[in-house]
Amino acid sequence: GMANSRKMVFNDEGIPPGAWKEALENGLPMQLDNFINTIHSKNLRNSVFADVTANEVLATKYDLLLQKSISVVACNKVACSSSYEYYRKLKDLASDFNAHFLFETNVGAGLPVIGTLNDLLRSGDTVNRIEAVLSGTLNFVFNHYNGERSFAEVVKQAQDEGYTEPDPRLDLSGTDVMRKIMILAREAGEHLEMTDIANNSFMPESCMQGDVANFYQEMAKHEAHFKALYTEANAAGKKLKFVASYKDGKAAVGLQHIDPQHDLYHLYGKDNVVLFYTNRYVEQPLVVKGAGAGAEVTASGVFADIIRAART
Amino acid sequence: GMANSRKMVFNDEGIPPGAWKEALENGLPMQLDNFINTIHSKNLRNSVFADVTANEVLATKYDLLLQKSISVVACNKVACSSSYEYYRKLKDLASDFNAHFLFETNVGAGLPVIGTLNDLLRSGDTVNRIEAVLSGTLNFVFNHYNGERSFAEVVKQAQDEGYTEPDPRLDLSGTDVMRKIMILAREAGEHLEMTDIANNSFMPESCMQGDVANFYQEMAKHEAHFKALYTEANAAGKKLKFVASYKDGKAAVGLQHIDPQHDLYHLYGKDNVVLFYTNRYVEQPLVVKGAGAGAEVTASGVFADIIRAART
State pLDDT tens for residues A215-262.
999 999 999 999 999 999 999 999 999 999 999 999 999 999 999 989
Phi then psi for residue B150, to 5 deg, are -70, 155
Could you tell me what percent of chain A has a pLDDT over 90? 87
| CA A116 – CA A273 distance, rounded (Å) | 13
CB contact under 8 A, A300 and B280: yes
A133 min Cα distance to partner chain B (Å): 14
State the pLDDT confidence band at A22, using cuts at 50, 70 and 90: very high
B221 min Cα distance to partner chain A (Å): 34
**Which value does ipTM take for this structure?**
0.92
What is the dihedral angle through the alpha carbons of A99, A104, A105, A110, rounded to the nearest 10 degrees? -130
| CA A287 – CA A253 distance, rounded (Å) | 19
Is A194 within 8 Å of A178 (Cβ atoms)?
Answer: yes
CB contact under 8 A, B300 and A260: no
Instruction: Give the pLDDT confidence score for residue A45 in this predicted structure.
Output: 72
State the pLDDT confidence band at B58, using cuts at 50, 70 and 90: very high
Among residues B180, B239, B241, B270, the one annotated as catalytic is B180
CB contact under 8 A, A290 and B290: no
Of the CA atoms within 13 Å of residue A222, those in its CB half-sphere come to: 17
Instruction: Give the pLDDT confidence score for residue B43 in this predicted structure.
Output: 82
Residues of B in contact with A112 (CB under 8 A): 112, 115-116, 119, 288
Q: How many CB atoms lie under 10 A from the CB of residue A189?
A: 10
Instruction: Give the pLDDT confidence score for residue B25 in this predicted structure.
Output: 95
A3 contact B CB<8A: no
Task: Show me where the domains of chain A are located.
Answer: 2-110+296-311, 114-292
Express each pLDDT in B5-23 by its tens digit. 999 999 999 999 999 999 9
**Angle of helix B223-235 relative to helix B151-160, nearest 10 degrees?**
90
Of the CA atoms within 13 Å of residue A72, those in its CB half-sphere come to: 31
Instruction: Give the pLDDT confidence score for residue A163 in this predicted structure.
Output: 80
Q: Would you identify the CATH topology of the domain A2-110+296-311?
A: Rossmann fold (3.40.50)
Q: How many CB atoms lie under 10 A from the CB of residue B169?
A: 20
pLDDT at B165 over 90: no
pLDDT at A58 over 90: yes
Q: Average pLDDT of A141-158? A: 95
Q: Would you identify the CATH topology of the domain B114-292?
A: Dihydrodipicolinate Reductase; domain 2 (3.30.360)
Instruction: Give the pLDDT confidence score for residue A152 in this predicted structure.
Output: 96
Burial of A80 (0-12, 13-18, 19+ CB in 10 A): buried
Q: Comparing C-alpha atoms, which of A224, A306, A281, A250 is closest to residue A51?
A: A306
Type and span of the H or E element at B287: strand B286-291
Residues of A in contact with B291 (CB under 8 A): 280-281, 284, 286
C-alpha A256: how far from its chain's center?
Answer: 21
**Residues forming a β-bridge with A274:** A132, A288
Type and span of the H or E element at B181: helix B175-187
Instruction: Give the pLDDT confidence score for residue B294 in this predicted structure.
Output: 84
| CA B160 – CA B146 distance, rounded (Å) | 19
Is A269 within 8 Å of A89 (Cβ atoms)?
Answer: no
Instruction: Give the pLDDT confidence score for residue B56 in this predicted structure.
Output: 94
| CA B287 – CA B113 distance, rounded (Å) | 9
Residues 6 or more apart whose CB falls under 8 angstroms from that of B262 comprise none
- State chain B's mean pLDDT as an integer: 94
Who among B119, B283, B289 is closest to A112 (CB)? B119
Q: Comparing C-alpha atoms, which of B131, B124, B135 is closest to residue B189?
A: B124
Beta strand ranges found along chain A (DSSP E)? 2-3, 7-9, 28-29, 48-51, 71-74, 101-102, 127-133, 198-200, 239-247, 250-258, 271-278, 286-291
Q: How many CB atoms lie under 10 A from the CB of residue B50?
A: 18
| CA A212 – CA A110 distance, rounded (Å) | 29
Which of B277, B298, B300 to mutate against chain A (most A CBs within 10 Å)?
B300
**B residues 226-265 closer than 8 Å to A (CB):** 260-261, 263
Annotated active-site residue B227? The verdict is: no
Closest residue on chain B to A263 (Cα): B266
Q: Average pLDDT of B75-87? A: 97
State the pLDDT confidence band at A69, using cuts at 50, 70 and 90: very high
Instruction: Give the pLDDT confidence score for residue A164 in this predicted structure.
Output: 82
